[in-house]
Structure 1
Amino acid sequence: MLITSPQKIQTRFFDNIYKPTIEKLPTPLPDIDHGKKVLLEEVECDTYIALYGGHHFHKLYAAFPLTKFENTEGKSIEIIDWGCGQALATCVLIDYLVENGFSPKIESVTLIEPSSIALWRGYSFVRQMLQPNFSSSPIIRTVNKYIDDLNDSDFVSSTSNIKIHLFSNIIDVECFEINKLYELIINRFQGLNRIICTSPSRNTVNHRIDNFYNLFNYVHIVRYSSTSSEAIYKEIFYFRNNRFEMRNIQRYERQFTVIL
């Protein structure tokens, strides 16, 4: 297999998580329903990262500068990764904080995912990414549930902490009710919340993300809202040509801050 290193990428996510899965891609590939399947086997997990890991990385890296993580310096934060899969969004966030020299105190990471094998791998990846850059030991909680099955008792949160909610390629999956998710967030996460949604750009995707945002905007004071549908031209592994290539990555991003 011909694999070249992505140019100017020095992150541990690429070196330790993304690239190793590319090196062991099976032939033929297992069917993972364009990334929507609840994964059941290791080979499916590896295939997902190999095919979509670069997309997650670049979309999130483009979103995070608008999050203003410099304002979290020295403050306590909670990370909640919804429909996390193998916790790629949390891993990229940790990489971003380290690469940019930001040092919030990560009190906890909550990973929510219905696939037990993906959740376990995500837990292991997050532990790996946290060391040795964060001297404190954040609590990593795993919640092995579908989003519609979640309830208040599945979460532990402090009003004084900044909550960072990651929705990476999950709001667009039409297998849960966004109204129910909204109610869960406003009931359980009091205080300052930053909500970051990234997905592929399609009309149905944009509609769900916009509806999710509007649920907050109708009732609460929403601040620092931003949205983008501009494609990103970045280097990712392109399976059909069996190598890294510069490609247009379509995206729809919306993020905002709300105090509950």
Structure 2
Amino acid sequence: MNPSSQIRFFDNIYRPRTGRLQVPFDNLDGGTRVLSEEAECDRYIALYGGHHFHKLYAAFPSTNFDYTSGKSVEIIDWGCGQAIATCVLIDYLIEKRINPKIVSITLIEPSSIALWRGYNFVRQMLQANLSSYSIIKTVNKHIDYLEFSDFVSSDSNIKIHLFSNIIDVEGFDLNKLYNLIINCFQGINRVVCTSPYQSARNYRIDTFYNMFCEYPQVKNPFHSDKAISQPIFNVLSGQFETWKIARYERQFTVNL
């Protein structure tokens, strides 16, 4: 892969939208609102895209995705918004020259406009030579309303589940989510959960992880609550500045 020939998340999706943000601005209920307009989608990326990017880039080395090279992989992006997590994972694979066969990408999101934009962003990220044969499936539903029939998965594929700034959001049932995963995704599953550090809501990520601990096949767990310092767009100054980004993260692999 030639990284220079690819669309990159930070430079081609995040950075252009920071210039469109004007003060005063609506923070979209701290990033938890179901978006309904194009302008809200751009605002979300400008406000939170850099945080997503850096938290995910800090998380991915702990999975060591080298093992996916040449393997068939499914990506499931839960509460995906504009598919930022999937875009950043593809970006990471491009930079590290890791070449899985991405057979499918499932994007799950209640906002139809965010989902459509996410679908198009993912198509752009995949355009050169990573996986032109990938099937991108969109599921326009709230997590609580998902059904087993919404998913098609192969036991032999590696499943990568992305939860970026979603497990910590109260408003959906973790038990329902857990039952969806254990019933729909047999075989090897890598689960990556990242969120802001919020002491009142971090328990949801811990609870979700502990649900899987009944399986002796849970391997390679990783946990971090260490902040990182990275450049993001400062709305007030109108410039990119290095900020301390608080985060809470859990990852693990489970063979179901």
Q: Specify if TM > 0.5.
A: yes
Report the CA distance between 1:11 and its aligned residue. Answer: 7.3
RMSD over aligned Cα atoms: 1.3
Q: 2:211 aligns with which of 204, 215, 231?
A: 215
Q: 1:164 and 2:160 equivalent?
A: yes
Paired AA for residue 224 in structure 2: S
Which one of the candidate residues 73, 77, 80 is aligned to 2:76?
80
Q: Which residue of 1 aligns with 2:107?
A: 111
For residues 42 and 173 of structure 2, what CA distance do their matches in structure 1 show?
Answer: 28
Q: Is the 8 A contact 2:27 2:47 kept in 1?
A: no
Amino acid across the alignment from 2:55: K
Is the 8 Å Cα contact of residues 74 and 105 (structure 1) preserved in structure 2?
yes
Distance 1:189 1:182 in 2: 11
Partner of 1:186: 182
Q: Which residue of 2 aligns with 1:35?
A: 31
- Matches of 1:237 and 1:228, distance apart in 2: 24
**CA drift at 1:136:** 3.4
How many residues are treated as equivalent by the alignment? 251
Using the alignment, how far apart are the partners of 2:179 and 2:8 within structure 1? Answer: 36
For residues 168-197 of structure 1, the C-alpha deviation after alignment (integer angstroms, 9 at most, x for no partner) is 000011010111100010000000000000
2:225 to 215, 226, 229: 229
Equivalent residue number for residue 177 of structure 1? 173
Q: Secondary structure at the match of 2:214?
A: helix
SS at match of 2:73: strand
Segment drifting more, 233-242 vs 22-31: 22-31
Contact 1:171 1:197 in 2 (8 A): yes
When normalised by structure 1's length, the TM-score is 0.94
> CA–CA distance in 2 between the matches of 1:219 and 1:258?
7
Residue type at the aligned position of 1:249: I
Q: Which moves more between the two structures, 19-28 or 155-164?
A: 19-28
Which residue number corresponds to residue 151 of structure 1?
147
Identity of aligned residues (%): 66
1:130-164 CA-to-partner distances (Å, cap 9, x unmatched) read 01032532000000000000010001100000000
Mapped contact 1:98–1:133 kept (Cα < 8 A): no
* Paired position in structure 1 for 2:247: 251
Q: How does 1:30-109 map to 2 (within 5 A)?
A: 30-109=26-105
Question: What CA deviation, in whole Å up to 9, does each residue of 1:74-104 have, x standing for no partner?
Answer: 0000000000000000000000000000000
Partner of 1:242: 238
Pair 1:21 & 2:46 matched: no
